[in-house]
Amino acid sequence: MANVTVTGATGQPLADAGPDTLLNCLNPSVTLLAGSSPGGNETYDWLDGAGQPIGTGTSLTVQSPGNYILLVTDPASGCTAQDTVVVGQDASFPTADAGPDQTLDCTVASVQL
């Protein structure tokens, strides 16, 4: 009787593109951080919402709202996992009010706003 040992690839990786986030006046760019299964040899690819490659590695800094896709590939198994993060735009801008219109002329040389 012969013994056979079968070893295989580690299997399906996990992908975590992080929580959805917002761009705003204080944060005009955000850095997306990739999370995955603890294999150590995975590759990381970032795609835009149209599926076009825009970066590699465990982080990606973006300045535009949209959907961003993280692909994590385990080179040992060839398996790939993906996750999508949504970057929104907070369009609530502060309101500026300098007060009512005022006129400068020969008799009024300055005004206080």
Residue range 9-27, pLDDT digits in tens: 557 899 999 999 999 989 9
Question: Residue 24 domain-assigned?
Answer: yes
Classify residue 43 by burial, with Cβ atoms within 10 Å: 0-12, 13-18, 19+: middle
Q: How far apart are CA 84 and CA 38, in angstroms?
A: 19
Question: Residue 94 domain-assigned?
Answer: no
Number of domains in the chain: 1
- Angle ∠(92,94,100) on CA atoms, nearest 5: 135
Question: Residue 19 domain-assigned?
Answer: yes
The pLDDT of residue 5 = 59
The pLDDT of residue 37 = 73
Q: DSSP letter at 65?
A: -
The token duo for 27 is 């944060």
Percent of the chain with pLDDT over 70: 90
The pLDDT of residue 15 = 95
Question: Residue 9 domain-assigned?
Answer: no
Q: How far apart are CA 67 and CA 84, in angstroms?
A: 7
| 3-class secondary-structure state, position 43 | strand
| 3-class secondary-structure state, position 67 | strand
pLDDT at 97 over 70: yes
Residue range 56-80, pLDDT digits in tens: 999 999 999 999 999 999 998 899 9
Question: Residue 103 domain-assigned?
Answer: no
The CATH number for 77's domain is 2.60.40.10
